[in-house]
Structure formats: C-alpha cells, structure tokens
Amino acid sequence: MSGTTGETYLDILAYKKFVTQDVVLTCGAICNVAGANGDANINFKFLKYGTGFFAKGYASVLSTHIVAAVVDGIAAIAHLDRGSIIKSVEFPFYDQPSPVSEEMMKLLKLERDFGIKSHFTNNDALRASPGYLTATTNCGDPHASFGNELGYHSVDSSIAMNLKYGGIQFLPALNSGMKGSYIDVANILNK
C-alpha cells in the first residue's frame, strides 16, 4: 500500500555472498577471455550496482558492503592461476573507505598477498588506465533489448558504442560472440 511505513532488515551476510559470487563469475569470465587473447594486465572496474534509482534510501547502506564483497571475490579468483592477470581493481565513484575499516584492511591484504592494487576514482567506466587493459562491469540490464536500456542515454548503449568494436550487443540471444562456460563458484569460494 502506498504510504505504508515499517522496518526493513537487510541480511548483510547474504548480500555480501551474492556480490562475491557475482565477482567470481565476472572475474572468471574476464580471465578466460583476456587470458585466451594473451592480455596479462587487467584493471577491473567494478561499478556500483543495486544502488541506483530503485534502491532509494538503501544506496548508502549497500555501497558500504560492496567493496568488501568485491575484494573477497577477487581474492578467491586470485588464488587460482587464471586470476593472476588481474593486477588492479578500481572503484569508480565510490567513497574512499576509512583507513581502519574492514574494507581497507581487505584491500591492503589483497595487495600484499597478490600484488593487486586498488583505486577509488571518479573516472568513467571506459576510461583507459595506462599500462592496463580495462575490464568493467555493466550495471544496466543486458536483457532489456528494447526501450530505455538501449536508448541513446543508457549505460548499455554508452558501453556498447565506446568499445573497440562499437555497437556490441549485450543481449546474449542476439550476440553470437557470447559463449557459455561452467565455473564452480562454490568450490572456488570454499578454498
């Protein structure tokens, strides 16, 4: 009902696991494609997701937990040989965590253990990072092939038209270049 108010509870543990699994899947795909192409220095830009229009008052709460979960996912992939090509992780338009926060401790450990640097910037998702190949997440809905998402003002169209090959279609049903792959997320996260 409109105007109804009440309490909302957020299961932080479940949320972080969800984000961590997304990162493992994304990094697995990045490492498979970039590794096959011989690319060895990846700057992974993880855009905020789930914190936009529909998040309303929850955006700041969600944002505080995304960074730690992203680092957990990258660390899980870095333990594998294929994860070694990710050399940097960038958080565009995130607030810099406090130097004594859980997130900052995890970022420092990621650099110490795996040599993966982290950056908090206000750079565009597709802005090149000197010395690195940029890999970025897409926060839009790749399954909305018509309407807003592929309009001239959408995240999807901006990414698609600014890629090296331009005009990339993010809808898997229409893009024959997309391939399926099995990644055992549970096994990776339990190592």
DSSP conformational letter for 92: E
> What pLDDT, on a 0 to 100 scale, did the predictor assign at position 170?
58
> What pLDDT, on a 0 to 100 scale, did the predictor assign at position 117?
93
Q: Residue 86 — φ and ψ, nearest 5°?
A: -80, 110
> What pLDDT, on a 0 to 100 scale, did the predictor assign at position 90?
93
DSSP conformational letter for 98: P
Tokens 């401790």 belong to residue = 105
> What pLDDT, on a 0 to 100 scale, did the predictor assign at position 148?
47
> What pLDDT, on a 0 to 100 scale, did the predictor assign at position 102?
85
> What pLDDT, on a 0 to 100 scale, did the predictor assign at position 52?
67
Neighbours of 51 (CB within 10 A): 19
d(CA 29, CA 34): 8
> What pLDDT, on a 0 to 100 scale, did the predictor assign at position 112?
93
- Count Cβ atoms within 10 A of the Cβ of residue 114 and give its class: 0-12 exposed, 13-18 middle, 19 or more buried: middle
Q: Which residues of the chain have pLDDT under 50?
A: 1, 143-151
> What pLDDT, on a 0 to 100 scale, did the predictor assign at position 118?
93
